[in-house]
Amino acid sequence: MPRACIIYEGKHGFTETVIKKMAPILGPARYFPLAEYKNELRDKYDFFVIGGPVDNEKIDQSILDFVSANASWLSGKRVALFATCPSEVNGREQLEPLMKILGNSVVSAEVVHGDADHLDLPELVEYALRVKALIDKGYVPMPAEQLKTYIEGFLKSYRYCTLCTGSGTRVRGTTINYTYRDGYIYAGCEGSEKFANLLLNNNVCISVFGPYPGYGREGPAENQVGLQLFGTATILDPASDEFKKMMEAQGGDYNMIASLPFLLHGLSIKLDKAVIFWAQLAKMGYGNKQTYIF
């Protein structure tokens, strides 16, 4: 699993604020002020995030010295460079000396603008997500069709998932009974707050967790799978042909459902992406986190 090490010059409080808010987004990561760097860190991490403040239109000299002194091994890593500086300073130009030293090992070089009194948090979050996406590229990918087989095998072995919906500040997580077929999740649901969210925002996230079939339900922790699914939901009218097809896919009795004293509403969720976490994948020679696009 790719791990990130953040090394920064934090003598200005703003840079340290940026790092502490950014680090949790990056996944398996740890941050170290430059003064706490030890040579043993170089073998513990696959990805390095390095940077500091811009002073007098130059990147902090201690960061420049660190990169120069450690260029021989940093050149074999993937490195994201950053600078923190006020909005009126470009900042990107100040990273060029570091980029020249590290060459092709640099996968990102960006600037976070702000000061002790102002931090554009949405901008920082988007930057952190871009770095995280670069870190995730360090996973050895499984061939798409093989990955799809494992994901579908897992989905078809379970009946219950957690459906997450949201709109504005209102969020909802609901356990539902589902059926998977050909890139779609189908479910019949009683009315509830999730439909208030879906009417305003049909983007959903679904999670399923449990042991992979055939690997032992009572086995070690590496048998456990976490699966996140992302897609868009369509609400099916209980009287529609689409609802009847959904009931057929689930093996339900439409006439019995129609006789209930309340309406059972249908959901057809077109899946766009699946993210699977499974330690067994590493034993197969791949990253234990994999992404599949439907």
pLDDT at 258 over 80: no
The residue-averaged pLDDT of 11-23 equals 91
Is a pLDDT exceeding 60 seen at residue 114? Answer: yes
The DSSP code for 26 is G
CB contact at 8 A, 8 and 15: yes
pLDDT at 176: 93
CB 235 within 8 Å of CB 266: yes
Instruction: Write down the residue that tokens 């057809």 correspond to.
Output: 268
Fold agreement between 4-136 and 144-293: no
- Please determine, for residue 254, whether its predicted confidence score (pLDDT) is greater than 90: no
Residue whose pair of structure tokens reads 């990955």 in the numeric block: 147
High-pLDDT (> 90) share of the chain, %:
66
What average pLDDT does this structure show over 175-186?
92
- Computed from CA positions of residues 113, 116, 120, 125, in that sequence, does the dihedral angle turn out positive or negative? positive
Distance from the first to the final alpha carbon of the chain = 24
DSSP H helix total and E strand total for the chain: 10, 14
How, if at all, do strands 78-85 and 106-115 pair? parallel
| Domain 4-136 CATH assignment equals 3.40.50.360 | yes
Indicate the domain borders of the chain. Answer: 4-136, 144-293
Reported as type and span, the H/E element at residue 241 is helix 241-250
pLDDT of residue 147: 97
Q: State if pTM tops 0.75.
A: yes
- The CATH number that domain 144-293 falls under is 2.30.110.10
Q: What is the mean pLDDT of residues 241-250?
A: 74
